[in-house]
Amino acid sequence: MLDPAVAALLKRDDAGLVAAVVQQHDTGEVLMVGWMDDEALRRTLTEGRVTFWSRSRREYWRKGDTSGHAQYVSSVAIDCDGDALLVRVDQVGAACHTGTRTCFDAGGDLGAVVGQRPEGTSDGQPDSRPDAVSGTAPAPDEFEETR
């Protein structure tokens, strides 16, 4: 059973699941997104390997058991709302079922508009120094589109 203190932090969807974003622990590379219920999270926290709940097969699966592309747990964090987990791992081989390093390689870039921080800011917040000019958001024509 999942530790009740941990279970109390989770905000599950209607199917009892939370999203689990999997990230390479040393590079920050986002590898994939899977789903966990309480039992999958318990296994992940106690066994050292990542376990997911398969929504299509309706069964647990441990990454790498058939492919050899295992995910060894480095840490697990919960977001501020309790509805998502960040699972940092040491990935062996490909993370994606297609054979690519990440599940985000094959999907491609969607060509999002790239924003720019106001001058004098380092974290996106206006500079609060008394002598600083108040930061304002850039006008829409100051954005660039990437392709």
Which range of residues forms the domain containing residue 120? 109-147
Segment 90-141, tens digit of pLDDT: 999 999 989 999 999 877 788 888 888 888 777 766 655 555 554 444 444 4
Type of residue numbered 8: A
Report yes or no on 84 lying in a domain: yes
14 is an annotated ligand-binding site residue = no
123 is an annotated ligand-binding site residue = no
65 is an annotated ligand-binding site residue = no
Pairing of strands 30-36, 18-24: antiparallel
Residues 114 and 43 reside in one and the same domain: no
Residues 86 and 30 reside in one and the same domain: yes
Please name the residue ranges forming H helices in the chain.
4-7, 38-47
Count up the domains in the chain and report the number.
Answer: 2
Judged on CB neighbours under 10 Å (0-12, 13-18, 19+), 95 is buried
103 is an annotated ligand-binding site residue = yes
Report yes or no on 116 lying in a domain: yes
Name the region of 120 (left: φ>0; alpha: ψ -120 to 50; beta: rest): left
Single pTM value for the model = 0.76
141 is an annotated ligand-binding site residue = no
Which candidate, 51, 28, 31, 27, places its Cα nearest to that of 39? Answer: 51
Strand partners, 21: 33, 86
Report yes or no on 98 lying in a domain: no
Which candidate, 9, 26, 27, places its Cα nearest to that of 18? Answer: 9
Segment 21-57, tens digit of pLDDT: 999 999 999 999 999 999 999 999 999 999 999 999 9
3-class secondary-structure state, position 45: helix
